[in-house]
């Protein structure tokens, strides 16, 4: 071992309490960063999954003007063609055509404005959580009675209806340009744990909705999910244009739910703020600890400079001490961070369907480990420690031997 | 004979105006090879400042210090570091060994800076430590040695790199009188046997008696010089 390394190692072992505290400061910074990153990623994934897989899907296809105008006549006419394309695309896991429009639902107790959605029950089960969120009654059946209707529990309470009760749904029929009114019987009550979906959506078989709306076999929306959900946020994917037709457009959740996309972006920003605060605190801590160590050794530095040590060698020595602290801290911090992520990942953090900006966190949050947490983050902490060592090292290298030794030589 | 050290019109002032302190005022001295010289004077007389100037640890306001005819005040920081490493040995009042290095490693430190091969370093260190009476204590850390033993290591460290001159600032000040005299005898022996030039500061009359030459300093000026039979 070279003299510099030998001296650096022995110097950092001189004041074990201070070295331990400094190591803990740096390693805890890294551990907190690793945990925060794992937590933020999990939070972001759960939020996106909760938002997309609850009902809307990873992506949707609409008539190019539908979302802007919400006009029921702006339909997808080549439904079969679109469905075939989706079926033959390997990256697509599931899809569901939907006919939808604003409607009025009436019970003997109340009248409410809602959105009527006609679905293919089997296909819808592959896209949304509608089937699994059923709390009473039965899920819609393709072969069942055309009078079946599913509503959310809060809506059922507002309408004061229960299973088997009658509801009258009024919706615009575009074929005859008049209102179509039909009687349904509540066949199922769901609870998606989203205030909007549970109070505003009512589901009937696709054919019933198409007939009421007078749109033939056309639909307003085709929702779909990817096999790899991470693809859904990739706006540069060629698939979006491949799934679009001459009059239709396929879009992912980042376009369909810009508020959510902004919020996810803000979470990345939050991570940056957390990292910056931690870095500033840790840098000040490391500078303070190293300065304490240097002030204690000012006389000693005066001696080694007097006997012929070059200033550059003293600078290198302090940087070597910083390097050793950094390397030990990186190992310690990575282990602590991995343990924290692993434990919380295994136990999970349950927010109990807490609603964040309209998105119910429907899953238990499980922080996850990524390669970046053990490459990029330790590298950042390493750079931070070396930067923090720079100032004390420069200070040590500028010590004037005569001043340092003023008590003696 | 060429002097090892020569100062010419050496001045070192601190402060300005009413608070001006003339730590050294027009000091002209000459130290020849093999001398065992004591710079004597009361506290605050300028002894330590003179040693700092001779050792190139401080820059004079006026005048020059010539070490083997080379003006050290004209050297760059790096040249001065190398010059001190190769030509000057220092012994400090408070021993000032590197606490994390053993006695042998402390002595080896300067030779490492000089780039001397490991085998030669080891041989010289062991021989030097034996000469100062520390055989068998080579691997002890400074904290495991007594004050007198630490100062012996400091002497060995100063001598092992074979400098042209050894500067010692009150080397016995922190030692009891018996240990101090033993150390001084040891330094004197090394001076006589190895021909090493020693310049040390003191205000202890017992120590002054051992010096072959005395330079009296008062208020920053050399007021008298005295040569004795060492």
Partners of B82 on chain A (C-beta within 8 Å) are 308, 310
Binned at pLDDT 50, 70 and 90, residue A409 comes out as very low
Q: What pLDDT, on the 0 to 100 scale, is given for residue B228?
A: 80
Distances (CA, A) of A142 to A121, A145, A256: 6, 8, 29
Q: What is the mean pLDDT of residues A153-182?
A: 94
Average pLDDT of chain A?
89
ipTM rounded to 2 decimals: 0.84
Distance (Å, rounded) from C-alpha B6 to C-alpha B203?
22
Distance (Å, rounded) from C-alpha A58 to C-alpha A230?
9
To probe the interface with B, which of A405, A406, A407 has the most B CB atoms within 10 Å? A405
Partners of A299 on chain B (C-beta within 8 Å) are 94, 96
With an 8 Å Cβ cutoff, are B85 and A309 in contact?
A: yes
CA distance to partner chain A, nearest, from residue B78 (Å): 6
Q: What pLDDT, on the 0 to 100 scale, is given for residue A408?
A: 43
| Percentage of residues of chain B with pLDDT beyond 70 | 99
What are the tens digits of pLDDT across the range A32-80? 999 999 998 888 888 888 888 889 999 999 999 999 888 889 999 889 9
Average pLDDT of chain B?
88
Q: Where are the domains of chain A?
A: 3-51+261-404, 57-252
DSSP per-residue string spanning A199-265: HHEEEEEHHHHHHHHT-TT-BSEEEEEESSGGGGG-TT-THHHHH--SSEEEEEHHHH-HHHHHHHH
Q: The tokens 């959900």 sit on which residue?
A: A229
Please, are residues A64 and A204 in contact by the beta-carbon 8 Å criterion? no
All domains of chain B, ordered by start, with CATH? Answer: 5-227 (3.40.50.300)
Partners of B57 on chain A (C-beta within 8 Å) are 306, 401-402, 405, 409
CA distance to partner chain B, nearest, from residue A284 (Å): 27
Cα distance between the two ends of chain A: 32
With an 8 Å Cβ cutoff, are A303 and B48 in contact?
A: no
pLDDT score of A329 more than 70 = yes
Binned at pLDDT 50, 70 and 90, residue B229 comes out as low
Cα distance between the two ends of chain B: 19
Q: What pLDDT, on the 0 to 100 scale, is given for residue A386?
A: 93
Looking at residue B101, what DSSP letter applies? Answer: S
Partners of A401 on chain B (C-beta within 8 Å) are 57-58
**Which residue from A10, A299, A308 is facing B84, i.e. has the nearest CB?**
A308
Distance (Å, rounded) from C-alpha B71 to C-alpha B53?
11
Distance (Å, rounded) from C-alpha B182 to C-alpha B43?
24
Distances (CA, A) of B162 to A90, A131, A378, B155: 81, 91, 47, 11
With an 8 Å Cβ cutoff, are B85 and A408 in contact?
A: no
Strands (E), chain B: 5-14, 21-27, 30-31, 36-40, 62-67, 70-71, 88-91, 165-169, 197-202, 213-218, 221-227
Q: What is the mean pLDDT of residues B115-132?
A: 90
B163 Cβ under 8 Å from any chain A Cβ: no
């Amino acid at each position: 071992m070279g003299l510099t390394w030998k001296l650096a190692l022995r110097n950092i072992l001189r004041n074990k309490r201070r070295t331990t505290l400094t190591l803990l400061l740096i390693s805890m910074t890294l551990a907190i960063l690793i945990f925060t990153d794992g937590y933020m990623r999990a939070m972001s994934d759960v939020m996106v999954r909760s938002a997309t897989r609850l009902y809307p899907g990873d992506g949707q296809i609409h008539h190019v003007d539908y979302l802007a105008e919400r006009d029921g006549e702006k339909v997808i006419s080549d439904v079969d063609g679109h469905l075939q394309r989706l079926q033959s695309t390997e990256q697509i896991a599931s899809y569901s055509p939907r006919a939808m429009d604003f409607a009025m639902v009436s019970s003997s107790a109340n009248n409410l404005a809602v959105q009527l959605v006609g679905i293919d029950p089997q296909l819808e089960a592959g896209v949304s959580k509608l089937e699994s969120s059923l709390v009473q009654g039965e899920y819609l059946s393709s072969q069942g009675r055309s009078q079946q209707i599913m509503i959310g529990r809060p809506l059922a309470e507002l309408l004061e209806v229960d299973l088997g009760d009658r509801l009258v749904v009024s919706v615009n029929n575009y074929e005859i340009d008049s209102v179509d009114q039909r009687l349904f019987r509540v066949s199922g009550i769901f609870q998606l744990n989203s205030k909007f979906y549970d109070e505003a959506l009512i589901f009937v078989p696709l054919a019933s909705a198409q007939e009421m709306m007078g749109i033939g076999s056309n639909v307003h929306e085709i929702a779909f999910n990817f096999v790899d959900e991470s693809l859904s946020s990739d706006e540069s994917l060629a698939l979006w244009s491949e799934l679009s037709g001459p009059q239709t457009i396929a879009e992912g959740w980042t376009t369909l739910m810009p508020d959510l996309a902004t919020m996810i972006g803000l979470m990345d920003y939050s991570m940056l703020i957390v990292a910056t605060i931690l870095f500033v605190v840790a840098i000040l801590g490391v500078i303070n600890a190293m300065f304490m160590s240097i002030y204690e050794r000012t006389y000693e530095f005066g001696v080694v400079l007097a006997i012929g040590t070059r200033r550059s060698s003293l600078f290198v020595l302090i940087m070597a001490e910083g390097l050793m602290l950094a390397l030990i801290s990186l190992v310690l911090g990575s282990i602590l961070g991995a343990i924290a992520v692993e434990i919380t990942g295994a136990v999970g953090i349950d927010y109990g369907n807490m609603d964040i900006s309209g998105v119910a966190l429907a899953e238990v949050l499980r922080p996850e480990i990524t390669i970046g947490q053990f490459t990029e983050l330790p590298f950042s902490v390493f750079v931070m420690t070396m930067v923090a060592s720079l100032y004390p090292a420069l200070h040590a290298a500028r010590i004037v031997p005569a001043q340092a030794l003023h008590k003696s030589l | 004979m060429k002097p090892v050290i020569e100062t010419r019109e050496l001045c070192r002032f601190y402060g300005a105006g009413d608070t001006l302190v003339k730590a050294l005022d027009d000091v002209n001295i000459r130290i020849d090879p093999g001398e065992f010289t004591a710079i004597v004077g009361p506290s605050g007389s300028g002894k330590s400042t003179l040693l700092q100037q001779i050792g190139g640890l401080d820059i004079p306001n006026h005048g020059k210090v010539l070490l083997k005819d080379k003006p050290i005040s004209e050297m760059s920081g790096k040249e001065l570091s190398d010059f001190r490493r190769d030509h000057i040995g220092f012994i400090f009042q408070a021993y000032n060994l590197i606490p994390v290095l053993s006695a042998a490693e402390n002595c080896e430190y300067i030779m490492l800076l000089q780039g001397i091969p490991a085998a030669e370093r080891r041989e010289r260190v062991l021989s030097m430590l034996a000469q100062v009476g520390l055989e068998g204590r080579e691997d002890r850390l400074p904290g495991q040695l007594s004050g007198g033993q630490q100062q012996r290591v400091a002497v060995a460290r100063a001598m092992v790199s074979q400098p042209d001159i050894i500067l010692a600032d009150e080397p016995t000040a922190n030692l009891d009188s018996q240990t101090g005299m033993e150390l001084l005898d040891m330094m004197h022996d090394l001076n006589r046997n190895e021909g090493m030039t020693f310049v040390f500061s003191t205000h202890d009359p017992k120590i002054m008696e051992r010096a072959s030459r005395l330079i009296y300093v008062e208020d920053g000026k050399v007021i008298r010089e005295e040569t004795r039979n060492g």
